[in-house]
Amino acid sequence: MPSRKKTAMFASAFLTCVCSFVMICVVLATQHWMSSQVRFSGTNSSITVSLTYGLFSGTCEQFVDAGLQVSEKTFQVADNLRSTKAKSTITAIIVILVLGLLSSLLSSGFTCTNAVSNPYQTFLGPTGVYTWNSLCGIFILIAMILFPVNIEEYGLSIELANGCFSFLQTHTKSEHAYGYSYWIMLLIIFLNIASIIIIYFYDHARYSKKKEQERPIENAPKDVILF
């Protein structure tokens, strides 16, 4: 059976890993990644399309001239994208987040196992926790980078606006605001860092104690050496 200190440290890391897992599920499930105001100009009027969307679905509204709302509807992100680059990037973000979800699940399993037992395999101990938490954090960071690239470089919001409403004319201006579904990913990264720090403190304390118990013979008293 593990010591009380080990159980407490790994139980704390387990809680942070579970929170990370739940947060990734929230990120994938919610549609508050981005809110955009996309403006188009025509010969006689200007049109503003208001979008709120996530990785799978969203809502869009069309306003003409002085705020007159014409229509509102929901849409599927994949169905509204014509650009191969924008669609591929969205797919890549989803795949990366699923990989992060699996990494977080494995990290939760490893920390739970160490909280209740002493695994013989090295990789099932702190090394495994470091690995899976690091991978999860890296996956989330990549997703956070790819999404703004899709917005700024590949015109994701403009693509979705054109997919929502036909006969939109010249695009003039776009305004973007990242929603809570996007910023939650920062919290996930911090949770993974917290798990690594907790296990590092435990591992460092265990290593120091082991070194004290294995002091070299030259540090022993002289009478013991003569004997």
CB 189 within 8 A of CB 137: yes
Q: What is the pLDDT of residue 6?
A: 80
35, β-bridge pairs: 52, 177
**For the segment 124-161, what is each residue's pLDDT rounded down to a tens digit?**
788 888 999 999 999 999 999 999 999 999 889 999 99
How does residue 224 score in pLDDT terms, banded at 50, 70 and 90?
A: very low
Q: What is the pLDDT of residue 210?
A: 66
State how far the Cα of 35 lies from the Cα of 97, in Å rounded to an integer. 21
What is the torsional sign of CA 23, 54, 137, 177? negative
- Sequence-distant (6+) residues with CB within 8 A of 144 are 182, 185, 186
36, β-bridge pairs: 51, 176
Strand locations in the chain, DSSP E?
Answer: 34-41, 46-53, 57-64, 68-76, 170-178
CB 94 within 8 A of CB 55: yes
Q: What is the pLDDT of residue 207?
A: 61
Q: What is this structure's pTM?
A: 0.85
**For the segment 195-219, what is each residue's pLDDT rounded down to a tens digit?**
999 988 887 766 666 666 666 554 5
| Percent share of the chain, pLDDT over 70 | 84
